[in-house]
A and B are shown apart, each in its own frame.
Chain A
Amino acid sequence: MRFVDEFRDPELAEVLGREITALCEPGRHYKIMEVCGGHTHTIYRYGVQDHLPEDIELVHGPGCPVCVIPMGRVDDGIAIAERDGVILTCFGDMMRVPGGRGSFLEANARGADIRMVYSPLDALRIARQNPDRQVVFYAIGFETTAPSTALTVLRAAQEGIENFSVFCNHVTIIPAIKAILDSPDLRLDAFIGPGHVSTVIGCRPYEWIPRDFAMPLVCAGFEPLDLLQSVYMIMKQFADGRAEVENQYSRVVHYDGNPVALKVLADVFALRPFFEWRGLGSIAHSALKLSPKYAHYDAELRYDLPGVRVADPKACQCGEVLKGVLKPWECKVFGTACTPETPIGTCMVSSEGACAAYYNYGQYAKQRLTLEVLK
């Protein structure tokens, strides 16, 4: 466990916590957004916030791939799955995401054939095994996952597999960060950058953030000490009067990313003019579709889809949670009408969603807070 243990050392965490505290300017409150849902999960699971001084607040961002899928796109997936002869494949968390007509799990119970896969390559294997069926992969995810879909399309084309297509919901992180920064609701001081997205896109695409907004961004790994060290690096930038892009996760992130993966993405995908994000609304150039060269594999062109925009349930405040404006427990239905077993909003579905992460791990932090207040 050499790559894990050394990043979970509690004594080192305490040392880092003290050094971070020493860098705080008295009377100043720092709001640092972790963009990636994987980071949110680590923060709650390991109590990272407990190692930080009260003046540093971690704000959860929109980087959970499942959480940002709007209800209408779930309904489109169900419409595909309900066609004769179709097998719809998707990642595990998508199964429970509620749409206007229920979830994929519920559609399965009504007779649709929707199967969980770990990789889009598994979906292609199902297509090979079922030449008399149409196999559609419901693609979600940021730039970490998009290369695997792109590679699968390339393999399908090389092998001449005709009964495979992709319903593409891949989104890109930079426009989402821009939308957050343009939001009048939120004041931020710095970003913890997404580690695995950055493995693909590198650190260069974030350089406009310190340049235009004078805000530090540090690309971070996913262990608790990775996050604490990233907060330290951000605080050091404040102390030095700097605002830069730095790379804490240098053991896997190269500053220029993975050029082969980027080339494959550019070949297989094209930017959509607009895409609707749950909670953030329509964002220009924020999502991918199949490029004209591979349009033959585009499920949106292969099937007639409802394409209807479905409003989120009124009680759901996922939008505010995704923008970091509300903490999960401040949502009206958190933990009562909305739980991981019966989610109303997407943030309660994926373990990387801020609400599910807080529901599963955060109550311990809340208990500690209550005890301190009682004291």
Chain B
Amino acid sequence: MSDPGVFVSGASCSAEPGCITCGDVAVILTVATVAGSDASCTDEQGRKEQVATELVGEVRPGDRVLVHAGVAIERLSAEETGG
């Protein structure tokens, strides 16, 4: 447990050191703004990512969503986010 590193967040995939989409990695992001079925979201470091939201219903700024391959696949409830 000595490695404090985290999975890479943000909209990127590379052959080196490894593709986060291939790795089934999903990241929790916070919705910043919404435009139709797309939302601009940010991660804990403030990095932005454009996310499609059709699969989780209507989202609002402040909502937290689980994102994989640029698509929100689940919305976290207020209880789950501690909010």
Q: Would you give the shortest CB distance from B38 to chain A, in whole angstroms? A: 9
Asked if A351 is an interface residue, CB under 8 A from chain B, the answer is yes
Digitize B1-44: 1 where CB-to-A-CB distance is under 8 Å, 0 elsewhere. 11111110001111101111111111010000000000000001
What is the bound-complex CA distance between A64 and B17, given in angstroms?
Answer: 16
Residue from the list A8, A145, A224, A253 in contact with B69, Cβ < 8 A: A145
- Asked if A8 contacts B70 (CB within 8 A), the reply is no
Q: Would you give the shortest CB distance from B31 to chain A, in whole angstroms? A: 16
Asked if A157 is an interface residue, CB under 8 A from chain B, the answer is no
- Asked if A92 contacts B26 (CB within 8 A), the reply is no
| B residues near A352, Cβ cutoff 8 Å | 18, 22-24
Range, interface on chain A: 35 or more
Main secondary structure of the interface of A (DSSP, over half): helix
What is the bound-complex CA distance between A121 and B17, given in angstroms?
Answer: 22
CB-based nearest A residue for B5: A45
CB-based nearest A residue for B4: A8
What is the bound-complex CA distance between A148 and B11, given in angstroms?
Answer: 14
| A residues near B54, Cβ cutoff 8 Å | 151, 154, 260, 264
- Asked if B73 contacts A196 (CB within 8 A), the reply is yes
From known contacts A1-B44, A264-B55, infer whether A116 and B66 are also in contact, taking CB-CB under 8 Å.
no
- Asked if B71 contacts A141 (CB within 8 A), the reply is no
From known contacts A121-B71, A264-B55, infer whether A116 and B15 are also in contact, taking CB-CB under 8 Å.
yes
What is the bound-complex CA distance between A154 and B5, given in angstroms?
Answer: 37
| A residues near B22, Cβ cutoff 8 Å | 64-66, 91-94, 140-141, 350, 352
Work out how many contacts link A and B, with CB atoms closer than 8 A: 159
- Report the count of interface residues on B (CB-CB < 8 A): 39
- Asked if A119 contacts B15 (CB within 8 A), the reply is no
Q: Would you give the shortest CB distance from B61 to chain A, in whole angstroms? A: 19
| B residues near A95, Cβ cutoff 8 Å | 15
Binds B, one of A20-28, A33-41, A204-212, A331-339: A33-41
A selection of 22 A-B contacts at a CB cut-off of 8 Å is A8-B4, A13-B1, A38-B25, A47-B1, A65-B22, A65-B24, A66-B22, A91-B22, A92-B18, A116-B13, A118-B12, A140-B22, A141-B21, A147-B55, A148-B71, A148-B73, A196-B26, A196-B66, A252-B66, A252-B80, A350-B19, A352-B23
**Given A66-B19, A92-B19, A118-B11, 20 new contacts (CB under 8 A):** A1-B44, A2-B44, A45-B3, A93-B23, A116-B19, A119-B71, A120-B69, A122-B70, A144-B68, A147-B55, A148-B69, A151-B71, A155-B52, A194-B24, A222-B7, A224-B1, A251-B80, A253-B74, A351-B18, A352-B18
